[in-house]
Amino acid sequence: MTTSIAPVPPAASRLSTGAHRKQVVVIGAGVGGLASAVRLAAAGYRVTVLERHEGPGGRAGTWRSEGFTFDTGPSLVMMLECWRDLFAAAGRRLEDYLDLVQIDPCYRLTFTDGSTFEMTSQLNRLVENMEALEPGAGTRVHRWLAETGELYHGGLAFIRRNMHNPLSMMNISAIGARGGMRALGDLQAMARRHFRDERLQQAITFQTLYLGISPYRSPGVYGLLAHSEVAGGIHYPMGGMHQLPLALERLGTELGVEYRYGSPVTRLERDAGRITAATTADGHRLTADAFVANSDLPWTYQELLGEKLPTLLPPRFSCSVVLLTWASTGPTPACCTTTSPSPATSGRIVRRCSSARRCPTRPPSTLWRRPAPTRGRRPRAARASSCWCLRRARTPRGPSTGRWWARRSRRGPSNGWSGSG
């Protein structure tokens, strides 16, 4: 793969060069921390990233066993324009750092009545697939895409603003008056406006489970998730999802970012309302002009600041997944499959999980994902995941279960909560 190195854009000249540049410390080398470091370095700051693990990625990590490589976190790449914008801020091209392939169809939904539905970015096939479940639905696909597209573009403009106070969260002008009403409306009601078949309604709303949010209690703005799958497609990086943090680390290194792995932060110092220093486990104390914490917010307040999380409502943990990974040297399906119960049953299961906070006897959906593409190399591992709820981690029974929990805890949250079934 050919790499072209472009000069850092003029944004870097906004700050003075040399030792007088402002210093920023980023806590956590997850994808968010790595991306923050890239943008800050491209703007001319001196950046140091502190990470407790021995490499980048955070939850987008990797695990190797018996010649196979397992992704331990995300499994989809969407919204490529956001990734391209990040690399463009540093005067680079995303394609020079990642070899991305589009997966189409995106996935296949299999319902308990035996019917199936394939989500695809090819509009003519999408219309045909929707028509197969609901005759006449194809004529409404364009209206659905137009409405969710408005939510998509307005939603991105909304979340890209600085939000340093609660009032900024209430300003929905970026979405527009009509888009704002739809964004705050009910996701299921929006789906029913366009499609009558409950299977199609489920097909365009279940994506909120990616975020641990019930599709039956979600605002309409989350309709942008299904839109992004159709309009932008689903992609995988060759070599696996861990190539994303590796690409960001490489770009940051080119921009002068310093990475300190195996350096867990144990305390943040506050003076007159500002964070002034960070102390690592080995006793080093780092001062900086600004600090960016990519660590979990409750953990940052409780463990690093010794304070309660400032919030109007008590924090609630969202749903998680039970993740099973396996390896195979044989042929794999051409499309990943999501098995879903009937819409009525799915609704009861999700409500039991999200509202009653009780683990269901069966998951609301099960995703069987094909192995990540590896041109000419040994196949990577495939995975299956089920959407479940969270409960306090208990001591696992049995040696194989123990290994799974120990392996997950190294990359999992630091707040004592883990997914279990």
Query: pLDDT tens digits for 215-265?
Result: 888 888 899 999 999 999 999 999 889 999 999 999 999 999 999 999 999
Q: Which residue has the higher pLDDT, 295 or 15?
A: 295
| Residue 378 pLDDT class (50, 70, 90 cuts) | very low
pLDDT in tens, 387-402: 433 333 333 333 333 3
Is residue 111 located within the same domain as residue 222?
A: yes
Considering the domain architecture, whether residues 109 and 56 belong to the same structural domain is answered as: no
Report pLDDT for 188: 93
Shared domain check, 225 and 108: yes
Q: What is the number of other CB atoms lying within 10 angstroms of the CB of residue 107?
A: 23
Whether 145 and 186 share a structural domain: yes
Identify whether 180 is part of a domain. Answer: yes
In a domain? residue 421 = no
Please, are residues 182 and 218 in contact by the beta-carbon 8 Å criterion?
A: no
Residue 214 token pair: 């019930």
Asked if 221 and 151 touch (Cβ cutoff 8 Å), the reply is: yes
In this structure, are 199 and 119 located in the same domain? yes
Give the CATH number for residue 289: 3.50.50.60
What distance in Å separates the CA atoms of residue 224 and residue 27, rounded to the nearest whole number? 30
- In terms of domains, do 323 and 382 share one? yes
Q: Domain boundary residue among 284, 305, 326?
A: 305
On average, the pLDDT of the chain sits at 78
Residue at 13 is within a domain: no
Both tokens of residue 140? 């409404």
pLDDT tens string 297-336: 889 999 999 988 887 777 776 666 667 777 777 766 555 5
**Residue 9 in domain:** no
List the single range of 123-132, 164-173, 242-251, 341-350 with lowest mean pLDDT.
341-350
Domain end point (choices 285, 305, 325): 305
Do 286 and 367 fall into the same domain? no
Give the residue from 254, 281, 305 where a domain finishes.
305
Are 96 and 69 a contacting pair, CB within 8 Å?
no
Identify whether 374 is part of a domain.
yes
Would the pLDDT of 180 be above 60? yes
Residues 281 and 45: their CA atoms lie apart, in Å, by 25
For residues 352 and 332, give the distance between their C-alpha atoms in angstroms, rounded to a whole number. 34
Together in a domain, 232 and 360: yes
Phi-psi region of 323 (alpha: psi -120 to 50; beta: other; left: phi over 0): beta
| 283 and 385, same domain (yes or no) | no
Pairing of strands 265-271, 274-280: antiparallel
Band the pLDDT of 154: cuts 50, 70, 90. confident
How many domains does the chain fold into?
A: 2
Does residue 95 lie in a domain region? Answer: no
**Residue 379 pLDDT exceeds 50:** no
CA distance from start to end of the chain: 42
- Mode of pairing for the β-strands spanning 337-340 and 107-111: parallel
In a shared domain, residues 336 and 193: yes
Which residue, 59, 6, 56, is CA-closest to 258?
Answer: 56
Average pLDDT over residues 268-291: 94
Please indicate, yes or no, whether residues 170 and 252 belong to a single structural domain of this protein. no
- Residue 12 in any domain: the answer is no
Dist. CA 377–CA 241, nearest whole Å:
15
Handedness of CA 41, 44, 49, 54 (dihedral sign): positive
Q: Is residue 88 part of a domain?
A: no
Cα separation of 371 and 327, whole Å?
8
**Same domain flag for 118 and 164:** yes
Q: Residue 419's pLDDT is what?
A: 28
pLDDT at 211 over 90: no
In DSSP terms, 267 is beta-bridged to 279
d(C-alpha 121, C-alpha 356), whole Å: 36
Q: Containing domain of residue 265, as a range? A: 22-75+241-305
